[in-house]
Chain A
């Protein structure tokens, strides 16, 4: 999960690690990255099955990160979810054009996040 806000990371982690999520998609292990660079450092080190990222981050923004991820061999088809707010519709569009699979707008409910992730993970990708 790539997101520069610590409490949002906590929140998403809490959702993905709870039993309801485990029931829907198996036990999940969440790795947090607090910036685009952090993500670029972590991605090559392990095989991640799902990537969740914000768009508005300083330095390397979410779009640039998606672009980078989709260019890499390992993660070309990995499910990728954008979390962001509705203010930057154009950016979300761009993100989808660049290869994001889904968009969960903030503020989101735990169910919305869980459903989206389950759907993407269940489709056999990554």
Chain B
């Protein structure tokens, strides 16, 4: 780190590191700016004002200006310079905060985002937009008024104290005194070691009663371990109230009197609406509410599943039985019901499920706290840690075997129980560590939601529709990589909701709806998945319109359309090539198709579902795995080898009998749920002859061999019905081992030729289980023959049932 020109362990110079930190910090500041502006917007709508927010925005831009200057980001620096001037005028009272000014501020935040992207090389520089904005900012600057007078001199304040106030702090002091607040001086002694938390505590006690102007170390009454601070507070309350609020040891509060001995203003002037009140309104629908995680909805569903599972009878339950939840009314003997529960209304998970108003403290205080307690981590370091955990898992396996051998050895009887206990302890801690590391990759969805709030505001203004965005569950966490990929699909969905869903004001009033439309964003965790719901109270989706468009585009025939259920019709919108609008609106300029959204979400290992009722609204549900690295799979055995099929692609698992095979134009098919399903034996597809372990083991290592099948006995087999989009294939396998959550790893380039494999995972005992690429295999099977394509077409536009509601069994390292 000492060199400025190359060198350093990983070829990183101090300059490179500083640049990386610049991007990171600048982005953080811009995100914070966005949040603050949204809050400010809200305050202003109610006719209030918030000096602290304005100052925060000013400081943020001021910092950005400094940073961009240091790192040579000229465009950002120029923009920040003008913005800072504007904000300075704003906070010193020289300009009024109008809607027009706010708009300019919002535009600036957008541009910051784009400038940062351009600096990283991800996008072109928005030069013309910046120029236009600078011109607009310049115009506003022309409208300056004057500053304030000097009421400060009337108070008994030590000139030394006044001398160390920055210009801004002086302005705040002046403003508060002019508004008739009283001034108080608190002297507090702090231990330097605990000062941060003690200060936060004091601030939270003081804020409800007034504004803190400044903190000044007095230089008295302290030693090397402690320090005394003088804190100036402006408040409408009287001395008694303030004293009561902050009461504690080492704290003294006194009033700063006017020199002429005039009356305490707080006693005489009736208070106008207090500035901070708006910010503290917890049930404010436009803010991102910090509510405790809602698990009520999810649990209710789980309970239903568990209750229903008592009723199913199965003749051939593979271990472990409880992990195959039955669908409603689908239990037939010998059949494994579908993994998903499509169309089942999820009880208790309405959009406004959380009107919980016990938001403790101030939203911004929470933000401040989290900023000082977070650490920025390179995700590669986390992957490295995960690998180490994997290594430890191997050690754990060896310890397990040793423990077993010791147990069986009569001479070592004494140490056996100790070793066993140690092994179990190791096991537990290892699992905890793995979970801990995975948790570090998690970030709250609030990140994405904030961005969306801004978009909603922008779009609703463009359309002149009033839309209220209600967000719950912003604290739900998900893998950072997923969050980054989520904003686009979510944005498209919301645009669609506003574009096609929410009606305009007149229309809404005509049908008896409130003039302001509502879009509810809800997120919660369910087992190893995160569920995101986007629900609007717009006009819903009309099946007739959808069918008409689908027929017109040749996606279905009229006869098929007649057979389709409401649900199936809705999912037609996910078909490639489907849009109900032939023209391209200014928003949908980039060809927003729901099929793209669905593809993007599938790439993340998730599924999308729609429910909608005409006139009432539409709800889209996205279910995502919590991290990309872990997926739920179905473990199966083919010719003695273990493979994993991602559950997201599995529709159903059926006990298979050769008698079910029919031949259709030379290919093997079977009838499943009233349709023809092409089938293929995985053993044949992979040329796995006979029964070999499939694992080469050095004789020296003592590893158990896989179980053997008695020759001559006809083994049962199973058919896994896998689907991708509307294409389905049944894969015949020998045995179902069970469900599991696994950490998937990529295969190297050297294995590119092995089509149909998505990766591999460690199965424990150093064995490797190959993960199948369902989509590739299905396409291969169907494309390999014209009959296959016909079989595919016969399926019709069936919607794949989301397989995501099945809980994993927890990881097995």
**Residues in chain A within 8 A of chain B (CB atoms):** 4-8, 10-11, 13-15, 17-20, 36-37, 40-41, 44, 55-56, 58-68, 71-72, 85, 87-88, 90-91, 94, 97-98, 106-108
Contact = CB atoms under 8 A, between A and B. Distances in A.
Contact of B216 (A7, A60, A87, A94): A60
Given A6-B25, A94-B164, A107-B69, A67 B224 contact: no
A90 B167 contact: yes
A7 B67 contact: yes
Nearest to B68: A107
A14 B14 contact: yes
Given A14-B4, A88-B167, A98-B164, A67 B70 contact: no
A87 B614 CA distance: 57
A5 to B, nearest CB: 5
B163 A94 contact: yes
A23 B69 CA distance: 26
A40 B66 contact: no
Contacts of B65: 85, 106
Contact of A91 (B14, B84, B166, B196): B166
A68 B160 CA distance: 12
A98 B215 contact: no
B155 interface: no
A5 B163 contact: no
Interface string B45-85: 00000000000000100110111111100000100000011
Contacts of B25: 5-7
Contact of A61 (B5, B88, B193, B214): B214
Contact of A60 (B5, B62, B69, B215): B215
B10 interface: no
Interface residues of B, number: 49
A10 to B, nearest CB: 4
Contacts of A106: 65-66, 69-70
Given A8-B70, A64-B214, A72 B219 contact: yes
Interface in B152-201: 160, 163-169, 192-193, 195-196, 199
Which label, helix, strand, loop or mixed, suits the secondary structure of the B interface?
helix
A60 B67 contact: no
Contacts of B2: 17-19
20 contacts: A5-B66, A7-B22, A7-B26, A10-B22, A13-B14, A14-B14, A14-B15, A17-B2, A18-B5, A19-B2, A37-B196, A40-B227, A55-B166, A56-B62, A61-B214, A66-B164, A67-B217, A68-B219, A88-B168, A91-B167
A82 to B, nearest CB: 12
- Pick the most buried of B21, B26, B65, B164: most chain A CB atoms within 10 A of its CB: B164
Contact of A10 (B17, B66, B166, B219): B17
B31 to A, nearest CB: 15
A25 B22 CA distance: 27
A63 B3 CA distance: 33
A18 B4 contact: yes
Given A7-B18, A41-B195, A63 B219 contact: no
A10 B13 CA distance: 11
B715 interface: no
A97 B25 CA distance: 33
A10 B1 CA distance: 10
B14 A107 contact: no
B605 to A, nearest CB: 34
- Pick the most buried of A5, A44, A58, A97: most chain B CB atoms within 10 A of its CB: A5
